[in-house]
Chain A
Amino acid sequence: MEHDGTALRSGSGAALGFARALSEDITAFVLGVNLEAMADEAAKLAPALVADHPALSAPVADRWAHVIAKVARAQNAELIVATSTTWAKDIVSRAAGLLGGAMASDVIGHEMVDGELHLRRPMFAGAVNATIVLEGSPKIITVRPSAYDAPTAAATPFTIEAVATDAFDFGKLPNATQFESLDRKTGARPDVTEARIVVSGGRAFKNSEDFEQHVGGLADALGAATGSSRALVDAGITPNSLQVGQTGKIVAPELYLALGISGAVQHLAGMKNSRVIAAINQDSDAPIFEFADYGLVGDVYEEVPRLIAELNSGQ
């Protein structure tokens, strides 16, 4: 279970949801330091196993993967599941490399067929859904947070157990990598991967001020997160952390508003599973309209201020 040092990441329950769909015998494993609050949170969803030690103060891949692999072996785990994030891609993939490499990333669906676990995952920037079977055990799987719901919290919490520390010599974990710093994104707006509404801007916006005024302004009027196409990140208009797409964030909010975004395949890969998609674009033939539920053909510099004004006037 991924956490940020103070709480579990909001999508982390999806991994438990997937695991619960396949087995009654699941354990929520949390590792790090000073984990009391996170362990309590995890124990609302499943029996929790905790590796709490100062040697795990920062999520460094070689150390954390070593611990995950060792615990997985000690528990005879057949499935190791995590929610697909940069944390899981870094650390859980390395753990999979220690456990034999039977891994599927970004799983969005599954089915048991003749006793075999069929997994569905997107490929080619989401142009294709592939169905695969993993050979060997344990199987390591990351799931998209939008594809699975967390189990409902139990009225009485499950047990919390510490890993048997004699199984580890915490002083002898891999030591080649040192954490130096994390420049946390700060800002009043919600995180793009966690928001109910995402307002996203594309090439139509010519500079950072215009982006902030229109995309930021509409996001604030809606209580939404802001996102961006790759073109604006490449142009230095928006920061990396806002990029939605195959190589950026994968989002699936209740509402995705695409402003001045043409709809390149790699962008669609990051947002096309949103529940409702609305687009404003000057080009009536822009591919984004094929993936939208509602479309307005027009100039974002004219239409967005109208939306903001109407929302702020409370009409």
Chain B
Amino acid sequence: MKILVPCKRVPDPDQKLRLNAETVGIDPAALTYILNPFDAIAVEEALRIRETAHPDAEVIAVSIAPAEGEADLRTALAMGADRALLIEHNDPTDPWNVARLLAAVIEHEQPTLVLMGKQAVDDDANQTGQFLAAQLGWPQATFASQIEFIDDGIRVHRETDLGIEVIRTTLPAIVTADLRLNEPRYASLPSILRAKKKSIEQTTPAKLGVQLELRVRLIGMELINSQRHCEKVETASNLLAKLRETEVVG
């Protein structure tokens, strides 16, 4: 069984962002990047499936990024992925085109399961897995907090606003990982060193036969700073008095 894990390279969320001079993007200077945390959860889940239910599983990490994106694929390799594929691409893209590129890879690789993060922590779109499932005509199980293999497919616990929903679906399928699916492992130093020596397969959108057609055009960005001024109070009683002034508290 093959498990494909799309991996997005994202700016580390724990850093101060600056806009570029045109204010239509983030200033790339001095930015550090990481593997999208939800994708790391997806990699971890794929490895656990290989370690338990399906020892024959081959875990393939795929990233669409400039050449530097190899670093994030090496993170996936160091965690234990069997193969890594970089679709080298330097320009902006969007969930629709990411899904098209992934669909082209899937057509070639024929995985049984695609495991990916439910959202990337840079654009927070939460669309790519659903778009990919729609394009392929595959079933989807989004926001997974538990995956169990059953006779004719998988049973997935999903985190929804109304509570935990359980569905089952046939394979092949797209599953998107929520925060509580697992806690990703840290790669050991020897495995990091081994991952550095592994080769990363390379392709491009052109080689995959995909010409990007952007659906989302970015016009501008603004940094959001707090507009609030905090009035400090001395006691709980004073705080309550202030809250009553707002007429929210009776």
Which chain A residues have a beta carbon within 8 Å of chain B's beta carbons?
Answer: 4, 60-62, 65, 85-87, 89-90, 93-98, 100-106, 118, 122-136, 174, 176-185, 191, 193, 196-197, 222, 230, 233, 240-241, 246-247, 249, 254-255, 265-266, 272, 275-280, 289-298, 303-304, 306-307, 310-311
Q: Is the CB of A126 within 8 A of B161?
A: no
Q: B210 contacts the other chain (Cβ, under 8 Å)? A: no
Shortest CB distance B80–A (Å): 23
Shortest CB distance B129–A (Å): 8
Q: Is the CB of B13 within 8 A of A265?
A: yes
Shortest CB distance A32–B (Å): 13
Shortest CB distance B101–A (Å): 13
- B226: chain A residues at CB < 8 Å are 272, 290-291
Q: Is the CB of A128 within 8 A of B223?
A: yes
Binary interface encoding of chain B residues 226-246 relative to chain A, with 1 for a CB under 8 A from any of its CBs, else 0: 101111111111111011001
Shortest CB distance A43–B (Å): 24
Q: Is the CB of B231 within 8 A of A294?
A: yes
Given contacts A124-B124, A306-B237, contact A62 B139 (CB under 8 A): yes
- B14: chain A residues at CB < 8 Å are 265
Shortest CB distance B168–A (Å): 5
Binary interface encoding of chain B residues 162-177 relative to chain A, with 1 for a CB under 8 A from any of its CBs, else 0: 1111111110010000
Chain B interface size range: 35 or more
- B220: chain A residues at CB < 8 Å are 130-131
Q: List 7 A-B contacts (CB under 8 A).
A: A61-B130, A90-B160, A97-B133, A105-B127, A130-B221, A132-B217, A310-B236
- B94: chain A residues at CB < 8 Å are 101
Which chain B residues have a beta carbon within 8 Å of chain A's beta carbons?
Answer: 11, 13-14, 17, 19, 26, 38, 94-96, 99, 119, 121-127, 130-135, 137-143, 145, 155, 158-170, 173, 178-180, 213-224, 226, 228-240, 242-243, 246, 248-249
Q: Which of A60, A93, A105, A183 contacts B163 (CB 8 A)?
A: A183
- B95: chain A residues at CB < 8 Å are 101, 103
| Binding site secondary structure of chain B | mixed
In the bound complex, how far is the Cα of B13 from the Cα of A265, in angstroms? Answer: 8
Q: Which of B17, B166, B232 contacts A124 (CB 8 A)?
A: B17
Q: Is the CB of A131 within 8 A of B134?
A: no
- A307: chain B residues at CB < 8 Å are 236, 239-240
- B173: chain A residues at CB < 8 Å are 176
Residue among A233, A276, A277 having the largest count of chain B Cβ atoms under 10 Å: A276
Given contacts A123-B123, A177-B141, contact A296 B217 (CB under 8 A): no
Q: Is the CB of A296 within 8 A of B222?
A: no
Q: Is the CB of A60 within 8 A of B230?
A: no
In the complex, residue of chain A having the shortest beta-carbon distance to the beta carbon of B132: A97
- B126: chain A residues at CB < 8 Å are 89, 93, 105
Known: A90-B160, A179-B166, A183-B166. 16 other contacts (CB 8 A): A62-B140, A65-B130, A94-B133, A96-B134, A97-B99, A101-B96, A122-B224, A125-B121, A132-B219, A174-B139, A176-B138, A180-B155, A240-B164, A294-B239, A295-B230, A296-B238
Given contacts A123-B122, A181-B166, A240-B180, contact A296 B232 (CB under 8 A): yes
Given contacts A176-B169, A181-B166, A240-B180, contact A255 B248 (CB under 8 A): yes
- B234: chain A residues at CB < 8 Å are 296
- A134: chain B residues at CB < 8 Å are 215-217
- B159: chain A residues at CB < 8 Å are 86, 240
